[in-house]
Amino acid sequence: MAESENIVAETAEKIFADLADAQTINRDNKGEWKAPLWQALTDAGLPLSWVDEDCGGSGASLAEGFSVLSAAGRFAIAVPLAETMLAGWLLAQAKITSPDGEMTVVPASPKDRMTVNADGSLSGKARSVPFAKAAKHFAVLASDAKGGVSIALVDATKGRIETGLNLGGDNSDTVTLDKVQPVTIKPAPKGFDQTRLMLMGGVARSLQIAGALESMLEISVRYSNERIAFEKKISKFQAVQHNLARLAGESAAALAAATSAADAIANATSFNDEVFLEAVAAKIRCAEAAEKGGAIAHQVHGAIGFTNEHILHRYSLRALAWRDDFGSESYWAVELGKLVCNRGADELWPLVASR
């Protein structure tokens, strides 16, 4: 996962630095930065990182793709890069070729279900689907009456979309499919289910949150070294130093949890309890870090960080918003707690110490 060893992540990082500077984006009310950024990402093959070359993608490894997401988090990217990567990955599970353009995955919450009807059409409602409005296609996971799981490519214009916005101001829409015939539908591989998709999405969000926290730490440290109050830099006040040390701790915890989970998934030979623990623990701990760390970053910035014109909200609000996608930390904590209790007290430590 080290960036220096990863040319794909380096490419992403360079594009973000050139075309997704937070200050520039923050001043651009019309969203004119989006098209050139998406074009550059597409030219570099990044949205289809996880799709094999023979299916139209760039065939990067899972690990390489995950480090693209870390970088995307550090820039709090507000285009559907993670979503298109996830959609391409989902389609690739069923060997469905990815089309060009923006995509997203449906459903995006573990509580929503999409159904395959007897005639092969799809029905169902999915809430809080990130960037549904911007997507040209949906990658849909659906189940039929017999419990069979299918993966489908759906033309986005065939669905009904009710626009919504998340805390960060990005699209988070309700998608309704009413007997929509997919472009392609194929059975999911054996053992693949919605939990698997949610955990992959959750790890993507964990990496993004961890990246956003890294940036919040960086800009908070920088600001504390610039801002003078009571005749000295606020970085010289012990109370401020201790707050920043705590922010570093939250950032570090998020980074450790997210990269560990990404590594676990990238190297998993089966989707067992240990991989489940890694993935849900990352989502839970990163969400907690987003709350605690974001609060400190705002505290250090004082009133200026609370304004629209400052870039802090680009990171803090997105980190908070990402907590809700693919299952909130509360949802996964319940699932993890059930798993732990079900295995029994004496199996808890062996689970924690398994890796």
Partner 1 sequence: MTAALRFDPIRLPSECEQLRKEVRAFLAEEIAAGTFDPHKPNREDTDVPEFSRKVGARGWLGMTWPKKYGGHERSFLERYVVTEEMRVANAPTRRFFVADRQSGPVLLKYAPENIKMDILPRICRGEVCFAIGMSEPNSGSDLFAAKTRATKTDGGYLINGTKIWTSSAHIADYMIAIFRTSPPTKENRRHGLTQFLVKMKQPGIQVNPIGQITGQYEFNEVVFTDFFVPDDHVLGEIDGAWKQATSELAYERSGPERFLETYYVLTELVRAVGTNPDTRSAEGIGRLVAQVHTMRRMSVSVAGMLQAGKEPVVEASIVKDIGTVWEQQLPHRVRDLAAFVEETATNRETLEKQLDFAIKTAPKLTIQGGTTEVLRGIIARGLGLR
| Positions in the binding site for partner 1 (CB under 8 A) | 1-2, 214, 217-218, 221-222, 224-225, 235-236, 238, 240-242, 244-246, 248-253, 255-257, 259-260, 262-264, 277-278, 280-282, 284-285, 288, 329-330, 332-338, 340-342, 344-346, 348-349, 352-353, 355
- Closer by beta carbon to partner 1, 103 or else 240: 240
Cα–Cα distance for residue pair 131/79, rounded to 1 Å: 8
Alpha carbon 321 to chain centroid, angstroms: 10
172 in Cβ contact with 164 (< 8 Å):
yes
Minimum CB separation of residue 210 from partner 1 in Å reads 10
Minimum CB separation from partner 1 for residue 340, in Å?
A: 5
CB atoms under 10 Å from CB of 203, counted, come to: 32
Q: Compare residues 43 and 346 and give the one whose CB is closer to partner 1.
A: 346
Q: Is 227 helix (H, G, I), strand (E, B) or coil?
A: coil
Our CB check for partner 1 shows the closer of 142 and 280 to be: 280
CA of residue 93 relative to chain centroid, distance: 19
Min CB(281)–partner 1 separation in Å: 4
- Which residues are bridge partners to 171 per DSSP? 165
The Cα–Cα gap between 136 and 286 comes to 30
Min dist. Cβ of residue 292 to partner 1 (A): 10
Q: H or E element: which one contains 106?
A: strand 103-106
The first and second tokens of residue 296, run together, are 């400190």
Q: Supply the minimum distance, in Å, between the C-beta of residue 114 and partner 1.
A: 26
Name residue 197's amino acid: L
* Closer residue to partner 1 in complex, CB, 50/331: 331
As given in the structure block, the two tokens for residue 31 are 């969203």
Nearer to partner 1, 34 or 237 (CB): 237
Q: The dihedral of CA 261, 88, 109, 147: what is its sign? A: negative
Burial class (CB within 10 angstroms; exposed 0-12, middle 13-18, buried 19+) of 158: middle
CB of 325 to partner 1, least distance (A): 17
- Give me the least distance between CB of 280 and partner 1, in Å please: 7
**Could you give the dihedral angle defined by the CA atoms of residues 123, 128, 129 and 135, in that order, rounded to the nearest 10 degrees?**
110
What are the structure tokens assigned to 256, written together?
């450790």
Min separation Cβ 262 and partner 1, Å: 8
- Strand bridging mode 122-130 / 172-180: antiparallel
Judged by beta carbon, residue 101 or residue 249, the one nearer partner 1 is: 249
Give 114 or 255: the residue with its C-beta nearer to partner 1. Answer: 255
Give 55 or 252: the residue with its C-beta nearer to partner 1: 252
